[in-house]
Structure formats: C-alpha cells, structure tokens
C-alpha cells in the first residue's frame, strides 16, 4: 500500500512539472494595437514647390496598402487596404517595418511576401497614367498601443515649363515669326525599382526609355509631350507656356549627343518655329530624382534654336533658371541655365 501511494505521488509530481512547463511554453504572445496613417497622398492642394494646380491624375489613387514586415526576418506579417483614414493592426511585440504603397496594384501583398520581394517590384511610367506610384517606410518598435504616419513619395518626377521671353540679339531673327509649338521630354526613363525609389539608389539602370533623342509616339505621350500651343511671340515680349510633364528618375552620369542611342541625360525641350522652320531649345537636367519638381522659370531666348532636340546646344542662346524642389515638402533650390 505504501509503495502504491509513493508511485501515485511521483506521477502527480511529474504531471505538475509538465503542467508548469506547458504553462511556460503556451503563454500567449503579447499583442498591441497599432494605428497607421499615410501622408503625402492628398494632392488636391497645390504644394509650395509649384504654383501649378495639381491635375486630377496627381490627386488620384486607385489602390493603397499598408504592409507590415518583421524586421528580423523580413517576412510579411500583416497587410491592410488604406482608404483615407487610419487602419488598425493587432501585432506581436517587436520591431516592424511598415510600408505604405499607393497605386501599386491590388495584388501588391501577394507578390511581396518579404521586404526583398517588395523592393524588387518595378514601377512604370505607363502604370502611372492612372495614378502615381508612391512608397514609404517607417520602422517602429511595437511594445504598446501606438499610432503613427508613414510619409510616401512618388517614383516619378515632374517638369513645369512656365514662360518664355523673346529677346533676339540679331535683327534678322527678330524680324521673323517666332511660334511656340510645344514642350517635350526626351531621353525619358520609363521604369524604376521600388528599392531605388525608397532608398535613393542612383545605381539603378532603367530598362525602358521613351523619346530616345527625339519625339517617338508611345503610350505615355500625354506625360512626355505637350503640343498644340501654337502661340506666336513678338520679340521683346513674354509668353506663358504653362505646361507640365512627367518622367521617371534618371541618374545617368555621363552625357552624350551621339546619334547611336545609349543612356544619357534627360532634356526638357521647347519646340518652336522661326520663319516656319522647326527648332528646339533643350534644357539638360544634371539628374532627375524621384518625387522632385523641376520648374523651368522664365526662359529668355536670344538665338536661333537647333534642329536636333538632342544635339549640342550653346547655352548662351537661352538663359534662365531651374527651380528644383521636393514634390512633397516644398523645399527648393535654383540652378542657373
């Protein structure tokens, strides 16, 4: 009897020990409520960076998602659609990477199971025709109830051509009719990785280019060419151009004017006629960065333009300045042409 009691006591002790171990293992993870918003999406009000009213496309978004990744593993933990107000997550304790993606498509989470997968996605200027791709990231350590905002930025850059002043230094030119026909962007990059947008990778090489050296009809014409201005300008006067165009970032270091195509710097070109002859006034941009506005202020034309928009151009033939500004916060600086 005594032996039986001892064995029963041993079993009870072992079960208690197992229960203690199981209790330690099965303690539920701590979970906390996190409220997340996006900033930079509402484009209905013109930014300080430009006095040109945003277009409907600039103000539009088709899809918007917030994706949560575990920082240590890079694996997607949760995601939700965003529709203008903050969204709520219930998350385990730990350091997370919260990504906001606007106009990345309704399937963005399905093809972005890890941070590496997300950043490997490619944005295209063609896709931006229905609303600009924007992305942003916020690292947050979840250890209690919290709320914060992710600031998103566009992949594209914006070009604003304001006005032209005609001040020919030759009587022979000033006596001829001068007409502004249009504005175009040549050597325009058409794609970029999310990684290059988010992390500013200037080593990214576009695989798609539009208007290589000249106007070439494409599905992105309304972003790359503004024609039909047909405004005749008298010598000594100023004419408003007021056109806005878009392209993707171009970090090409070495420029070239070679007739055989190779990557080169992006140019915004004023297309005109003098005495019925088509000429161009190209403005070469040293670099084109995502989420920036390049405003070509009053351009003073003093000489005849060139017949090839990608040709070498004597900058003395037109003077002015470019205001380069962040598309979101309005900070800016000037470069003299």
The predicted structure's pLDDT at residue 313: 83
Question: Has residue 125 got a pLDDT over 90?
Answer: yes
Percent of the chain with pLDDT over 70: 82
Query: How many Cβ atoms are within 10 Å of 15's Cβ, its own excluded?
Result: 10
Task: Quick: pLDDT tens for 172-215.
Answer: 999 999 999 999 999 999 999 999 999 988 899 999 999 999 99
Does residue 237 contact residue 231 with C-beta atoms inside 8 Å? no
Does residue 290 contact residue 284 with C-beta atoms inside 8 Å? no
- Burial, 315: exposed, middle or buried (Cβ in 10 Å; 0-12, 13-18, 19+)? exposed
Question: Has residue 45 got a pLDDT over 50?
Answer: no
Does residue 320 contact residue 297 with C-beta atoms inside 8 Å? yes
Residues with Cβ within 8 Å of 269's Cβ and at least 6 positions away in sequence, in order, are 183, 184, 185, 186, 280, 281, 282, 283, 309
Residue in this structure with the two tokens 């309005």, named with its chain if needed: 330
Residues 188 and 211: their CA atoms lie apart, in Å, by 6
Question: Has residue 22 got a pLDDT over 50?
Answer: no
pTM, to two decimals: 0.85
For residues 170, 334, 102, 143, the Cα torsion angle rounded to the nearest 10 degrees is 180
Residues 86 and 18: their CA atoms lie apart, in Å, by 44
User: Which three-class secondary structure state does DSSP give residue 199?
Assistant: helix
Candidates 185, 75, 61, 188; CA nearest to 132 is 61
Residue 303 is encoded by which pair of tokens?
Answer: 């000489």
Candidates 205, 206, 208; CA nearest to 220 is 208
**Any idea what the Cα angle at residue 193 is, between residues 58 and 86, rounded to 5°?**
50
Dihedral of CA 42/46/50/52: which sign? positive
The predicted structure's pLDDT at residue 68: 98
Question: Has residue 316 got a pLDDT over 80?
Answer: no
Task: Quick: pLDDT tens for 46-74.
Answer: 333 444 455 666 767 889 999 999 999 99
The predicted structure's pLDDT at residue 2: 46
């Amino acid at each position: 009897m005594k032996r039986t009691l001892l064995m029963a006591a041993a079993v009870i002790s072992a079960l208690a020990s197992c229960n203690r171990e199981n209790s330690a293992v099965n303690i539920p993870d701590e979970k906390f409520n996190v409220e997340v918003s996006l900033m930079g999406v509402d484009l209905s009000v013109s930014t300080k960076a430009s006095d040109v009213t945003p277009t409907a496309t600039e103000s539009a978004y088709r899809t918007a998602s917030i994706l949560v990744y575990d920082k240590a593993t890079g694996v997607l933990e949760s995601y939700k659609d965003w529709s203008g107000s903050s969204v709520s997550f219930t998350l385990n304790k730990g350091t997370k990477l919260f990504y906001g993606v606007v106009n990345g498509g309704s399937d963005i989470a399905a093809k972005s199971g890890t941070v590496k997968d997300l950043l490997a996605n490619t944005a295209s200027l063609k896709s931006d025709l229905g609303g600009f791709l924007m992305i942003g990231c916020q690292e947050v350590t979840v250890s209690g109830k919290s709320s914060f905002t992710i600031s998103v930025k566009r992949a594209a850059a914006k070009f604003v051509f304001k006005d032209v002043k005609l001040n020919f230094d030759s009587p022979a030119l000033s006596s001829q009719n001068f007409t502004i026909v249009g504005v175009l962007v040549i050597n325009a990059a058409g794609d970029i990785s999310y990684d290059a947008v988010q992390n500013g990778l200037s080593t990214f090489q576009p695989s798609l280019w539009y208007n290589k050296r000249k106007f070439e009809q494409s599905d992105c014409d309304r972003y790359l060419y503004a024609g039909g201005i047909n405004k005749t300008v008298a010598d000594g006067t100023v004419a408003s151009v007021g056109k806005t165009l878009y392209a993707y970032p171009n970090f090409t270091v070495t420029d070239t004017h070679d007739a055989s195509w190779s990557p080169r710097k992006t140019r915004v070109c004023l297309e005109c006629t003098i005495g019925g002859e088509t000429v161009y006034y190209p403005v070469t941009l040293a670099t084109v960065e995502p989420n920036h506005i390049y405003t070509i202020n009053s351009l003073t034309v003093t000489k005849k333009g060139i017949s090839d928009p990608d040709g070498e151009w004597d900058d003395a033939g037109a003077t002015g300045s470019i205001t380069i500004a962040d598309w979101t916060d309005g900070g800016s600086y000037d470069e003299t042409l």
